[in-house]
Each structure stands twice: as C-alpha cells, then as structure tokens.
C-alpha cells in the first residue's frame, strides 16, 4: 500500500491520476499475485500510466465494469 500511495510523489507528474483507484487497480491486476510483476507494473506506471491502463485493460470507458468483473462489486 505504501508503494501505491507513493506513486504520485515518485512519478513527479499526474499526481491526481496516479493516486486513483483506476491506476492502483491496474497495478494489482497486472501483478497477478506476484511481487516481481507488482514491481514491474509500478515501474510501468512511473514510466507511462497510459501504457499501464492499456496493459491492464482499463484504458476504455468500460473500466469500472472490468474492475467489478475482476474484483467484485464495491461495498457501500
């Protein structure tokens, strides 16, 4: 969580987007439970967050539906 929370400061650009649920979810989805893949996804986010969203299939308007399908519905 500290790494995800630190993305905006580490990147030095697009702080609002890099702090978003969408980017954090993209990192988690790409990691697929692997620490190595998690760090690779974080590096990708720092390099170009748009490539991260494309790789995680969260680049389109339907990204909330993809998250719900992968992670389940949000609880109130």
How much is the pLDDT for 5?
86
**Residue 51: inside a domain, yes or no?**
yes
Whether 76 is covered by a domain: the verdict is no
Instruction: Please report whether residue 25 resides in a domain.
Output: yes
- Structure tokens that stand for 45 in this block: 């986010």
Give the total number of structural domains in the chain. Answer: 1
Residue 33's domain spans which residues? 2-71
pLDDT of residue 70: 87
Q: Tell me if 24 is assigned to some domain.
A: yes
Higher per-residue confidence, 55 vs 7? 55
> pTM of the prediction?
0.82
pLDDT, one tens digit per residue, over 63-75 is 999 889 988 876 5
Number of neighbours of residue 52 by Cβ within 10 angstroms: 24
pLDDT, tens digit, 9 for 90 and up, residues 14-64: 788 888 889 999 999 999 999 999 999 999 999 999 999 999 999 999 999
């Amino acid at each position: 969580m500290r790494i995800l929370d630190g993305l905006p400061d580490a990147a030095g650009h697009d702080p609002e987007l890099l702090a978003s649920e969408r980017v954090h979810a993209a990192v988690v989805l790409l990691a697929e439970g692997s620490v190595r893949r998690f760090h690779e996804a974080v590096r990708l986010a720092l390099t170009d967050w748009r490539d991260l969203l494309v790789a995680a299939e969260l680049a389109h308007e339907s990204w909330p539906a993809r998250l719900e399908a992968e992670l389940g519905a949000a609880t109130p």
